[in-house]
Structure 1
């Protein structure tokens, strides 16, 4: 089994946090989004992964440190890492084709801007499985249309009339991903464009038209990381799940001086909390110092210093110095507010 991860986008909706760190590498609940996503997919598949192919953007932004991080992730999961580049953003279908040498055999394709919780077995009779989540407002999503055999017969983007309440979350399994590759090659060769780009859906629709069987794989939780507000919400939900799983969330090297922690919280290596109340639902990256402050429902990354703060629904980047009394703030890397 292979995992293909297109992640070449700049994550503009999460700025300023994605100006210096690619969005999939931004930590949520103590671990980068893409690391957590891939590890969770491996857990769901419950079978050996031979290769993880990452499709990155411009090397000036997705540099050597990003590549090293992703290679370490693949090694940790017992897989070979392959690195590809999408230098011209031409859509989801084009991004997948940038990994053409890896597009053979069984594979999962997963877009690295979401997190999941799932527990199911892949349908061995299906040519493909599209992972979905039941939603309350299907008109806001791309959804699947099912026949009486619960096979997917159509993909419908933001339907004005009810089709189904099963939204496509951007994770796909292919029994043989070379079939998708061939159809996407046709899409590129014939300049089939939707929304100004080459889309994975056009390759999937061609597979359906040729009689391939598509089934759904439902996830119990689907958590977005698209912008500041939903990323903070995802951090809250993920911390709750990790607490239930019994995961160790407070580093042994953290220093607590008159600090009250209201769990669940993630406290990273060498964090120093002094005269603070932290939590619930706070994640703090390594080497950060927080003093004389109250923090809840917030994400604070590494190597920052926070003093005299009362934070709620805040997202603070790396190497930030903040001294003040604002609450629902969003501060990018290397900012100083004193």
Structure 2
């Protein structure tokens, strides 16, 4: 079975960080968003991946080739960003008639992957949300089968949102339905969505069953990314690389500290992720994500997201600083 992972988005809600890094490669609890997805699938036995790339796509290719050299990977370039449906349609010649997984590139969920893979039906992941208007929404019968799907409804028929994980047992029908929504110009907010193709599949007799995820980690905005970082750190526990140097400092778990980082006269944690080769001196850092090759001196940071190669000195603030930034409040 192959897995399709669309990672062509620009990540506009996470700028300035996504000016220089694809959203899928942003650091999270000592890993990247994409590595959580790939590791989960690979541990379930999936070793063939199709990545739909676009914006900063070469960084996705470089990352996968370096960190996952044993995977069988193919790349499709999405030159025009016209929605998830248009993105998935680009993979038709690579999938054929094999059943396929589709996982959105910012979808991190807790669930039993093997149970989903072994189901005789097409499957979609769902979770109840307070406001489903920004999601694909499913109406589900008592047996867990989908009866209707709508993308971003103005008046939602339910609060059951699609989390972005799909197993498709009938790919030929899916691709035919994608062609149908293109020819009929069936769009939502000017975009061709996979949700509309799945609704077409339902009308053509495909049975689609739902599975509930235990937790759905939101990586869409700075605030929710930091919340997800804290939740995942609690789940995976402390991770301090053996090459990290910690001198006269206090670690309040859970934290993640990358290779060759140096902490001096500093308090780190809880819920702080520090990248590799980063230096932090005489500072307090909690509930933060700090990128690699950064330098922090005499700062107090809380709920902050700092990119790679950034330098921050002498302040106590709530920050959202992109890569290659230098700020001196001294």
* TM-score, length basis structure 2: 0.93
What secondary structure, in the 3-state scheme, does the structure 1 residue paired with 2:216 have?
strand
Q: Structure 1 residues 143 and 310 mapped into 2: Cα distance closer, same or farther (>3 Å)?
A: same
Tell me whether 1:277 sits opposite 2:267 in the alignment.
Answer: yes
Q: CA deviation at 1:192?
A: 2.5
Q: CA deviation at 1:42?
A: 3.7
Q: CA deviation at 1:328?
A: 1.2
Tell me whether 1:40 sits opposite 2:32 in the alignment.
Answer: no
Q: Deviations over 1:214-255 (max 9, x none)?
A: 111111110111111111111000101102xxxx61001010
* TM-score, length basis structure 1: 0.91
Structure 1, 311-320 or 171-180: larger mean CA deviation: 171-180
Tell me whether 1:235 sits opposite 2:235 in the alignment.
Answer: no
Contact kept in structure 2, 1:126 and 1:215, CA below 8 Å? no
Q: Deviations over 1:102-128 (max 9, x none)?
A: 233121101112311112512756541
Question: Which residue is 2:111 aligned to?
Answer: 118
1-side partners of 2:9 and 2:46: how far apart?
Answer: 25
Question: Which residue is 1:170 aligned to?
Answer: 164
Contact kept in structure 1, 2:137 and 2:156, CA below 8 Å? no
Consecutive unaligned residues of structure 1, counting only runs of 5 or more, are none
1:243-254 to 2 correspondences below 5 Å: 243=237, 249-254=239-244
Question: Which residue is 1:335 aligned to?
Answer: 325
What secondary structure, in the 3-state scheme, does the structure 1 residue paired with 2:24 have?
helix
Q: Deviations over 1:10-57 (max 9, x none)?
A: 1010000100001101110111111111212344xx3x3241000001
2-side partners of 1:139 and 1:18: how far apart?
Answer: 25
Tell me whether 1:54 sits opposite 2:51 in the alignment.
Answer: yes
Tell me whether 1:216 sits opposite 2:210 in the alignment.
Answer: yes
Tell me whether 1:197 sits opposite 2:191 in the alignment.
Answer: yes
Please, what is the CA RMSD of the aligned residues? 1.9
Question: Which residue is 1:97 aligned to?
Answer: 89
Question: Which residue is 1:84 aligned to?
Answer: 76
1:315-334 to 2 correspondences below 5 Å: 315-334=305-324
Q: Structure 1 residues 141 and 68 mapped into 2: Cα distance closer, same or farther (>3 Å)?
A: closer
Question: Which residue is 2:249 aligned to?
Answer: 259
Q: Deviations over 1:167-206 (max 9, x none)?
A: 2111111113232112112222333322111111121111
Q: CA deviation at 1:66?
A: 2.6
Contact kept in structure 1, 2:151 and 2:196, CA below 8 Å? no
